Amino acid sequence: MKRLVAAVALPATLMIAAAATRPFWVAPDAAQAQAWLHAAADRHDAQAEASLARWSDRGDAQARHAYTVLLAHRGDAASRERLEKLLGDAAEAGDALAATQLAQLLASPRAGVGAGPAAGAGARAGAGAPPDDARIARLLAQGSDGHVPAASRLLALRALDAKSGTRDPVRAASLMAQAAQGGDAPAMFLYANMLRAGQGVKQDEARALALYQAAADADYAPAIQALAIAYRQGELGLPADASQSRLMDHEAAEALAHAAN
């Protein structure tokens, strides 16, 4: 059901046609970049990867995007290091999306965080340098200023973090609203939660419902699940309707299956 913003690329026939007709000195378009990406990722085509790296180094946006996808897909230490450099250079050059992606990369779990012996029960995952929090914050601010919705969402979550020392639910709500307005489905869902709870913003169940529905329309499973629960329980002004809840649950299962593929 519903709309899915899937990362399905151009038909292979188009890619082949593009590859066959493009002189090597002409910068790649999206089709060419995708062709190289898939050749490198699926067939381990070293020449295709070299082409991506070369054009990426020259600052070509299409090639850089495809190359970042390739490196992120690989996930090994060398690829990660290369990816950090690539995104860092782009961010420094003013690319808000790259700044956001780099922030996400730096914040993503590595071999473990934290240090020192445990004072009580529990454990720590292992050694590893903690992420550079200040840098992450700067990068997200750059992304948010550049109207990247995911950056605004992540900044909002930081503003909600009790451990951050700068907890500010009102600012969080404002940033989350901005991200939701930008079409970010997780932000729609999270902002709906905030509206529902009156967290940092005046409680407004009608707006919360509309946002859940908008996120559900974008095939975001948690929002569909929220609607399934709301129908079952008669929440958010909806009539209690077990049958409609079951239908929503079915929709959620479908959205989850799509997301998993």
Nearer to other proteins, 60 or 154 (CB): 154
- Helices 96-107 and 133-145: angle between axes, nearest 10 degrees: 150
The first and second tokens of residue 199, run together, are 């967290």
Q: How far apart (Å, rounded) are the C-alpha atoms in residues 46 and 203? A: 55
Q: Give the list of residues 6+ apart from residue 146 with CB closer than 8 angstroms, or none.
A: 95, 96, 97, 99, 100
Nearer to other proteins, 40 or 63 (CB): 40
Closest separation in Å from C-beta 11 to other proteins: 6
Closest separation in Å from C-beta 227 to other proteins: 11
Closest separation in Å from C-beta 8 to other proteins: 5
Q: How far apart (Å, rounded) are the C-alpha atoms in residues 251 and 259? A: 12
Nearer to other proteins, 78 or 260 (CB): 260
Nearer to other proteins, 60 or 245 (CB): 245
Query: What distances in angstroms separate CA 175 from CA 86, 107, 118, 129, one per listed residue?
Result: 27, 19, 35, 29
Q: How far apart (Å, rounded) are the C-alpha atoms in residues 14 and 227? A: 40
Nearer to other proteins, 25 or 134 (CB): 134
* 229 closest CA partner among 202, 198, 171, 189: 189
Closest separation in Å from C-beta 86 to other proteins: 12
Q: How far apart (Å, rounded) are the C-alpha atoms in residues 25 and 32? A: 13
Nearer to other proteins, 26 or 118 (CB): 118
Closest separation in Å from C-beta 105 to other proteins: 6
Nearer to other proteins, 25 or 139 (CB): 139
Closest separation in Å from C-beta 108 to other proteins: 6
Counting other chains too, the contacts that 62-66 makes at CB distance below 8 Å and 24 or more residues apart are: 62/27, 62/28, 62/29, 62/30, 62/32, 62/33, 63/27, 63/28, 63/33, 63/36, 64/90, 64/98, 65/33, 66/33, 66/34, 66/36, 66/37
Closest separation in Å from C-beta 26 to other proteins: 21
